[in-house]
A and B are shown apart, each in its own frame.
Chain A
Amino acid sequence: AQSVTQPDIHITVSEGASLELRCNYSYGATPYLFWYVQSPGQGLQLLLKYFSGDTLVQGIKGFEAEFKRSQSSFNLRKPSVHWSDAAEYFCAVGARSSASKIIFGSGTRLSIRP
Chain B
Amino acid sequence: EAGVAQSPRYKIIEKRQSVAFWCNPISGHATLYWYQQILGQGPKLLIQFQNNGVVDDSQLPKDRFSAERLKGVDSTLKIQPAKLEDSAVYLCASSLARVTDTQYFGPGTRLTVL
List chain A positions with a Cβ less than 8 A from chain B. 32, 41-46, 49, 51, 90, 92, 94-96, 98-107
Contacts and interface: CB of A to CB of B under 8 A. Distances in A.
A101 B49 CA distance: 11
B87 interface: no
Nearest to A6: B42
Contacts of B95: 100
B99 interface: yes
A51 B100 contact: yes
Contact of B41 (A44, A96, A106): A106
Contact of B99 (A42, A45, A99, A106): A99
Contacts of B106: 43
Contacts of A51: 100
Interface residues of B, number: 27
B56 A99 contact: yes
A71 B63 CA distance: 41
Contacts of A99: 48, 50, 55-56, 98-99
A46 B103 contact: yes
A100 B43 contact: no
What secondary structure prevails in chain A residues at the interface with B? loop
Interface string B48-76: 10100001100000000000000000000
B24 interface: no
B107 A100 contact: no
A41 B50 CA distance: 28
B108 interface: yes
Contacts of A96: 99
B16 interface: no
